[in-house]
Structure 1
Amino acid sequence: MSTRRFDNNGSPEDESPKLRRRRESGTRRLDTDNDQVEDTGPRRPEAIEQRAVVPRGASGSAARNSAHLPRTLTQIIHEANDKVVRGDLVDYVPIPTGFDPLDGYIGGGLRKTELILLGG
């Protein structure tokens, strides 16, 4: 929404700010001091810095990269079942907090990969 001013003759004066392109970056900004729109044209491709994007923590190992690939629910359930069958219950055994009422409320303690928010 813009405000329009009227001169003494009753005709509106157009004082809306104009977009003005910055010379150094090619971006536009509002220009309230000048009624002209200055355009330097599109940015040149040679002015755009191009670099290879390397994800954080990338070490190049395939095992590390595959750890963050999406998995289906079936794959997750089979993996959990295989761990239980092997007796690898480290991820599922709760770690007691030492505060018995809290441990009883959250099922025996804290578990790996779980987040518990306490308020009081």
Structure 2
Amino acid sequence: MKKIEAIIRPDVFSEVRKALALEGIDGLSVTEIAGCGRQEGRTGLFRGNAYEMEFHAKLKLEMVVEDYLVERLVEAILNHACTNEVGDGKIFVLPVEEAIRIRTKERGAVAVN
């Protein structure tokens, strides 16, 4: 099994979610995060005062899947999260040693399906 973590722009989430659903992924975790990278900071205005916004709002998607699904899901994310602009995000694929469903105590791939 593998864990896919994708950091994407919030405005592309709807399309990415639909693409993942078409690939059979109906369960994932979504976290609102803020980050910085090559994407330049920008100046904001609050109550008439300018301030530098160093971090940009992003969404972090996390899902644990069987190995055979990884490439299909990575392609789905790449195809629907790309705007060809700096700051589109990143995808990380990590090994998962074990998954356990707490309610039934099932282990392995059956616990994530």
Q: TM-score range by the shorter chain?
A: under 0.3
Which structure has the higher relative contact order (CA within 8 Å, separation 6+)? 2
Q: TM-score, normalised by structure 1?
A: 0.18
Q: TM-score, normalised by structure 2?
A: 0.19
User: Greater share of helix residues, 1 or 2?
Assistant: 2
